């Protein structure tokens, strides 16, 4: 698989990454079973054999079970052959006491404790990349800087990034943090295209002026790798539900038709739409099915023309371009 070099790092990673959110089984209190662990390792090894070298986690995924299930892979894949990233900063309701609200927490204590938990569950000494999961309204950038400094000095985290952050939020952090922000992971797909489409319709009457505008351009300008979560819109762009909106069904039909014409898979077309964007977007695929992982990785062989890209874009938007 072709690779991206993450600017200002020594990391070279596959263009498509694997998201581990669902490999821990249920989000309920049930403990991990051997069956869930075996299924997880099978998915990860399939992804690795397809050339995927970046694996995405978060401390909260299935309440830690995803990271725990992943650790069995060290019996098969050497640690230094893959890039492991995790995220911190989301706290569920009831943590740490009953009645505590769902919230975001970029405090020094929470960031450091979260990383230590991830390292323990992943059975590794270091994270290659740590991301701040969702913007914390109460962020104190100096405090984040102190946490990042200590984690870097202890050798527990090599590089840092963010997720779901706007350009302005990244700019604010960059004023205070010594380490570079090397990744921004954002929701992006043919059906959730706003980071791209808002730039195209900016300053048009009746269109919302969104903070999202310029986030991709900011990442391009500052050498920040854009990672796309939800890259097939949770499967909707491949297999829309019966009650899906007409433009969702039309987009899925066009994806399937293009796959047929180009002799590839629908997964490959949906992901190639992201790969074709010059920001150098890295889709984080989330399927747990080995056959869908293989079908997704065919995207590496597909290059869409401008005309194909815009036809898909227009279908996904469900309305003509200005």
Ligand X SMILES: NC(=O)c1ccc[n+]([C@@H]2O[C@H](COP(=O)([O-])OP(=O)(O)OC[C@H]3O[C@@H](n4cnc5c(N)ncnc54)[C@H](OP(=O)(O)O)[C@@H]3O)[C@@H](O)[C@H]2O)c1
Q: Pick from 197, 141, 143, 149: which is nearest to 165 by CA?
A: 141
Where does this chain touch ligand X (CB under 6 A) — which range of 1-9, 144-152, 166-174, 285-293?
285-293
Q: Which is nearer to ligand X, 163 or 215 (CB)?
A: 163
CB atoms within 10 A of CB 29: 6
What residues contact 10, with CB distance under 8 A and at least 6 apart? Answer: none
Does residue 89 bind ligand X (CB under 6 A)? Answer: no
Site for ligand X (CB under 6 A): which residue of 287, 302, 308, 315? 287
CA neighbours closer than 13 Å in the CB half-sphere of residue 121: 24
Q: Pick from 144, 120, 119, 123: which is nearest to 133 by CA?
A: 144
Does residue 113 bind ligand X (CB under 6 A)? Answer: no
Does residue 25 bind ligand X (CB under 6 A)? Answer: no
Beta pairing class for 181-187 and 3-5: unpaired
Tell the smallest beta-carbon distance from residue 232 to ligand X (Å): 4
Catalytic option among 48, 61, 159, 218: 61
Where does this chain touch ligand X (CB under 6 A) — which range of 17-25, 69-77, 141-149, 302-310?
17-25
- Residue 97 is a catalytic residue: no
What DSSP letter does each residue of 138-194 carry, written as one string? T--HHHHHHHHHHHHHTTSEEEEEEES--HHHHHHHHHH-SS-EEEEEEE-SSSS-H
Compose the 214-253 pattern: x for residues touching ligand X by CB under 6 A, - for all others: ---------------xxxxxxx--xx--------------
Where does this chain touch ligand X (CB under 6 A) — which range of 97-105, 118-126, 137-145, 280-288?
280-288
Q: Which residues bind ligand X (CB under 6 A)?
A: 19-22, 56, 133, 163-164, 185, 229-235, 238-239, 284-289, 292
Q: Active-site residue numbers?
A: 61
């Amino acid at each position: 698989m072709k690779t991206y070099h993450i600017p200002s790092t020594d990391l070279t990673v596959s263009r498509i990454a694997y998201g581990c959110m669902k490999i821990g089984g249920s989000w309920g209190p049930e403990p991990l079973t051997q069956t869930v662990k075996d299924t997880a390792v099978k998915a990860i090894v399939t992804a690795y054999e397809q050339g995927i070298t970046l694996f995405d986690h978060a401390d909260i995924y299935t309440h830690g079970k995803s990271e725990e299930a992943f650790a069995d892979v060290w019996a098969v894949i050497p640690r230094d052959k893959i890039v492991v990233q995790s995220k911190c900063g989301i706290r569920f309701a009831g943590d740490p006491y009953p009645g505590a609200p769902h919230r975001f927490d970029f405090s020094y204590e929470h960031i450091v404790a979260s990383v230590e938990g991830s390292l323990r569950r992943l059975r590794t000494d270091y994270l290659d990349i740590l991301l701040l999961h969702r913007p914390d309204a109460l962020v104190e950038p100096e405090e984040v800087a102190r946490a990042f400094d200590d984690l870097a000095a202890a050798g527990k985290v090599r590089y840092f990034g963010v997720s779901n952050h706007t350009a302005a939020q990244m700019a604010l952090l960059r004023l205070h943090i010594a380490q570079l922000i090397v990744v921004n992971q954002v929701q992006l797909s043919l059906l959730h295209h706003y980071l791209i489409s808002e730039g195209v319709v900016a300053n048009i009457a009746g269109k919302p002026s969104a903070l999202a505008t310029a986030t991709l351009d900011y990442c391009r300008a500052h050498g920040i790798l854009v990672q796309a979560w939800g890259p097939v819109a949770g499967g909707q762009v491949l297999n829309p539900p019966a009650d899906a909106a007409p433009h969702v069904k039309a987009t899925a039909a066009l994806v399937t038709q293009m796959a047929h014409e180009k002799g590839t898979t629908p997964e490959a077309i949906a992901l190639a739409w992201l790969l074709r964007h010059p920001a150098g977007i890295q889709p984080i695929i989330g399927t747990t099915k080995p056959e869908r992982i293989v079908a997704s990785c065919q995207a590496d062989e597909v290059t869409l023309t401008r005309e194909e890209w815009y036809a898909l874009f227009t279908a996904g938007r469900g309305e003509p371009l200005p």
